[in-house]
Amino acid sequence: MNTLRAWQRTSQLPRLEQQMLWEHVLGVSRAWLIAHDTDELPEAAVQAYARLEQERLGGTPMAYLVGWREFMGHRFSVSPSVLIPRPDTETLVEHALSCLEGKLQPRVLDLGTGSGIVAISIALARPDAQVVATDFSADALQIATKNSHDLCAKVEFFAGSWYDALQGVEGFDVIVSNPPYIAANDPHLSEGDVRFEPDMALSDGADGLTDLQTIINGASRFLLPSGQLWMEHGWDQAVQVRHMLQQAGFKAVHSKQDLAGIERISGGCINDF
């Protein structure tokens, strides 16, 4: 008999992952699953679940199977065209918001927005802000635009590579970015969920510092006189990124730790405070 209870006894997946897949396939809540665990399941739903379960057993991330991941209390649509949101990136959003305190109608730029989690989270927290986001990937921008619409966030999107997307647009209080920063030869690229994420969003194809350097080099033209640049980077890149910022003339350069105590973001001000 095809029931939820029967599948729970035979499935190789953890109970929570089973529940998430059944919620997705049936379009129901967790409470419904509990209340109807002995109901006969539709054959089409059983087949759909079985396919997803096999994909999950093969390593496909849950976020791609169900099509969403939560970030800072909001549900964001995701696909294999964008990175899966991670709690580490909350550090970037939270610090950006702290940089905007006391500023009226601040202007914010998010470079390489992906699914839009950084730009949209800032826009939701500061509805008065003018938030601009860019990405080179048309597929990523489509997902980011959907997330912006679904979450009622005011974000303006531009297509293009880093600052090249911003023809005639400049003057930002804060520039933020979570760019590709994994070195091309890093073994982590062939492990875990990362195996399924888009290569161009993970690595610059070189030493992991190339895109960070590009963002730093171009920032001064787009920042207001008191503007700040903040970037997420790898767990072991903080010292190098701070040096790059200092070499480019940034002031008050420092790093911020994530909840695990890792220096996760680095940045500074284009002029002295």
Query: Distance (Å, rounded) from C-alpha 83 to C-alpha 31?
Result: 30
Query: What are the angstrom distances between the C-alpha of 104 and each of 42, 89, 223?
Result: 54, 25, 16
Q: How many CB atoms lie within 10 A of CB 265?
A: 26
Q: Give the pLDDT score at 144.
A: 98
Taking only the tens place, the pLDDT of each residue in 125-169 is 999 999 999 999 999 999 999 999 999 999 999 999 999 999 888
Taking only the tens place, the pLDDT of each residue in 64-86 is 999 999 999 999 999 999 999 99
Query: Distance (Å, rounded) from C-alpha 83 to C-alpha 200?
Result: 10
What is residue 197's DSSP assignment? S
Query: Distance (Å, rounded) from C-alpha 153 to C-alpha 171?
Result: 21
3-state helix, strand, coil in the chain (%, to 5): 45, 20, 35
Q: Give the pLDDT score at 272.
A: 59
Query: Distance (Å, rounded) from C-alpha 250 to C-alpha 268?
Result: 6
Q: How many CB atoms lie within 10 A of CB 242?
A: 19
Beta bridge mates, 228: 174, 269
Query: Distance (Å, rounded) from C-alpha 225 to C-alpha 273?
Result: 10
Q: Are 103 and 173 in contact (CB under 8 A)?
A: yes
Query: Distance (Å, rounded) from C-alpha 36 to C-alpha 58?
Result: 28
Structure tokens at 53: 């379960």
List phi, psi (to 5°) of 107.
Answer: -110, 130
| Helix, coil or strand: residue 165 | helix
Q: Give the pLDDT score at 168.
A: 80
Taking only the tens place, the pLDDT of each residue in 215-239 is 999 999 999 999 999 999 999 999 9
Query: Distance (Å, rounded) from C-alpha 137 to C-alpha 92?
Result: 22
Name the nearest CA neighbour of 233 among 167, 158, 182, 174: 182
Q: Are 26 and 45 in contact (CB under 8 A)?
A: yes
For residues 17-38, b (16+ Cβ closer than 10 Å) or e, as one string?
A: bbbbbbebbbeeeeeebeeeee
Using pLDDT thresholds of 50, 70 and 90, give the confidence band for residue 1.
Answer: low
Beta bridge mates, 158: 134
Please tell me the pTM assigned to this model: 0.93
Q: Give the pLDDT score at 191.
A: 82
Q: How many CB atoms lie within 10 A of CB 127?
A: 10
